[in-house]
Structures are given as C-alpha cells and as structure tokens.
Amino acid sequence: MNIMDFNMKKLAADAGTFLSRAVQFTEEKLGQAEKTELDAHLENLLSKAECTKQWTEKIMKQTEVLLQPNPNARIEEFFYEKLDRKAPSRMNNPELLGQYMIDAGNEFGPGTAYGNALIKCGETQKQIGTADRELIQTSAINFLTPLRNFIEGDYKTITKERKLLQNKRLDLDAAKTRLKKAKVAEARAAQLNTSQPEENNIMIWAEEVTKSEQEVRITQSEFDRQAEITRLLLEGISSTHAHHLRCLNDFVEAQMTYYAQCYKYMLDLQKQLGSFPSIFLSNNNQSSSTPVQSVSTPSVLASASASLPSVSNSVVTSGISELKSSSGSRKARVLYDYDAANSSELSLLADEVITVYSIPGMDSDWLMGERGNQKGKVPITYLELLN
C-alpha cells in the first residue's frame, strides 16, 4: 500500500511538473511570459552541433549512394545490418559485366580476335570489381562507421541533454513566474491591510513568496548544472571534427588506391589489346595522344606508372603518318588473328611479322601487307609497328 501511495504521489508530481512546463512554454509562445536566454557561447555551440549533424547526415547518405548506387541493395544491406546478419554475397556490376564478357568470349572462341579481347576485358572487369569491393569495405569501416556512430551515439546524447536543459529552463522560468505573481499578490494584500483576516492573508502570501524564492534558487541551480553538462558535451564537437578529418583522409586514401588500381588494370589491358594503334578506329579520326599527367599516389600507382608503355600514342601516330606519306615500308607485328573478308585482304596470324606499306588513295584505317608472295589489305588496329 505504501508503495502504491508513493507511486501515485510521484505520478501526480510528474503530471504537475509536465503541466507547469506546458503552461510556461505556451505563455512564452504567446508573449505572456519571460524566457531565460542561454548565453551566446552556449547558443553558438548548439548551432555548431546542429550544423555538424545535418551535414554529417548528408555526407554519409551521399557516400553510401556513391559506394552502392543501387537503392534496393542499400535497403537490403540496411535491414541485414539492423538484424545483425551478414548480407548474401553477390557479384557487383563490374564483376557481372566481366563474367558476361568471359562467357561471350568463350562462346565466340578464345582463338578469335574478338573472343580473346572479350576474355581479357572480362578478366580486367573482374579485377576492378574486386577493387570496388575493397573500396566499399575500407570506406565503410574507416569513414561511414565513424560518421554513423556520431549520428546514432554522440549526437543522440547531446539531444537528450539539450532536451533536459530545455526542461530545466522551463522549470526555472515557471518558478520565476510564480514568484512574480506571489509578490504582486503580497503587495495587493498589503494595500488592503484594514482587518485581521487581511493580515492573515498578508502572512499567507509572504510565505508563498519565501517558498517561491526557495524554488527559484533550486531550479536556478539545477539549470546552471545542466547548462554546464550540455556545454561540456557540445565542446566535444571540435574533437569530433578532428576525428572526422582523420576519417576523411582515410577515405581519400582508399579512393586514391582504388583509382590507382583501376588505372593500372586498364593500362595493362590497353597494352594487351594493343589499344594505342586502335585510335585510328574512331569515326572522328581524333588522336587521343593527350599526355598522362603524373600524380603522386601510393605504391599502387607507382607500380601502375612503371607499367606505362615506352611508346606513346604520338609516336605511333607519327610512325603511321610517315609511312603513309612516304613510299617506303616497315615491319609490323600482328597482334591478333584476322580472317580476310575478301580477296583484296590478307589473312593474319597473331605474333607473325609482316611488311606493311601505304599506297595512294588507301583508306586511313588500312595498310597494304606482304608475307612472302602473299599481299593484301590489313587493318592497322591489328598491327604494332616495329622500329
């Protein structure tokens, strides 16, 4: 029974406090009650925390979109994460494309130029897919997780203490309002001090004033204490920024490694496909001889730079141009097998060396090739000019 009485009294007290806060909040909104303002430093800290929360959420969500463009996959990963279960392993887009290319290449025949090229491209796409997985995993651990921990951990604590500070402020202002009303009532009673009952009324209001003053002192102390707790938490935002800066550096490092790996894979593929001469296949006949700028990157890019071919596009272009403008001939290595489409063309075998030259009026994508007593047109994209 005593426990029930205690619970009922506590419930009544909580209800009274809630009602007092609601009345104070409403009167403040209506301009009928005074409001204790927070000091400028605390207001700035609150504004900084709110700004940090908003931008952290935006950066985190957009990073997730960057790493996983498929919204359905993001939703699936979110649910598996909440259920504390591992999401099923699936091929990502580069890996899936790579597998399709490999399957197509095997179907067309690895011995054919197109089939062989598809298989090589597919293997490279799979390497890129593996690098993509590593980027996602590294970024999730070193960048996204710290941002999410701030939103779901630190900022929730700040929000809780901020709400508590708001309640303490409402309690303080409600106590000040009651004190003000008690003093006004005491003054009115003093003016009407004409009879014994009125003297008793003065004493009642004097007691009420004393009680209200004590309540103001208590609520002021609780408000100041809560303001200090909130201030200490908010000052930790600067440390959060420093931590997120380190995480941002880790994210940039992960991206740099990823793009360096992709760059290296594509350079290797380009060398395998002999893509430097293939610029002449473009319909607009534009040269892609833009020099590659050197970028200071980790060891991955250093190894990628080391794999750059010794002959640039401009050199190849120059060699072909000189050959077409002169009456001379050059030796060329065949990159892929080529089956002649008609009698005017020459069939080729990969890795054989033939003699090539140009004749007036010939299409820019072709040269004349000779192998012993055989000769015919050959596509320049299947050739690598030799010095």
Q: Which amino acid, residue 202?
A: I
Residue whose structure tokens are 């399709």: 100
Residue 338: the pLDDT is 87
C-alpha to C-alpha distance for 51 and 66, rounded to whole angstroms: 22
- pLDDT above 70: percentage of residues in the chain: 71
The answer on pLDDT for 151 being more than 60 is yes
Strand pairing class (383-385; 374-379)? unpaired
Write the pLDDT tens digit of every residue in 20-74.
Answer: 677 666 766 666 667 788 899 999 999 999 999 999 999 999 999 888 876 666 5
| 129, two tokens | 């897919």
C-alpha to C-alpha distance for 341 and 336, rounded to whole angstroms: 15
Contact criterion met (CB below 8 Å) for 354 and 382: no
Output the CA torsion sign for 18, 34, 39, 212: negative
Contact criterion met (CB below 8 Å) for 316 and 332: no
- pLDDT above 90: percentage of residues in the chain: 40
Q: Which helix (DSSP H) or strand (DSSP E) does residue 313 occupy?
A: helix 313-325
Q: 83-87, 252-256, 304-308: which has the highest mean pLDDT?
A: 252-256
Residue 340: the pLDDT is 87
User: Per-residue confidence at 192, pLDDT binned at 50, 70, 90?
Assistant: low
Q: What is the pTM of this model?
A: 0.61
Write the pLDDT tens digit of every residue in 329-386.
Answer: 889 999 888 888 888 999 998 889 999 988 888 888 888 999 989 999 998 888 888 8
Residue 90: the pLDDT is 80
Ramachandran angles phi, psi of 365, nearest 5°: -90, 5
Q: Of 78-92, 109-123, 298-312, which gets the smallest average pLDDT?
A: 298-312
Higher pLDDT, 185 or 86: 185
User: Per-residue confidence at 298, pLDDT binned at 50, 70, 90?
Assistant: very low
> Residues 139, 145, 151, CA angle at the centre, nearest 5°?
135
User: Per-residue confidence at 180, pLDDT binned at 50, 70, 90?
Assistant: confident
Write the pLDDT tens digit of every residue in 70-98.
Answer: 666 656 665 556 556 666 678 888 999 99
Mean pLDDT of 216-243: 93
C-alpha to C-alpha distance for 16 and 37, rounded to whole angstroms: 24
Contacts of 240 (CB under 8 A, 6+ apart): 52, 150, 154
Mean pLDDT of 113-125: 92
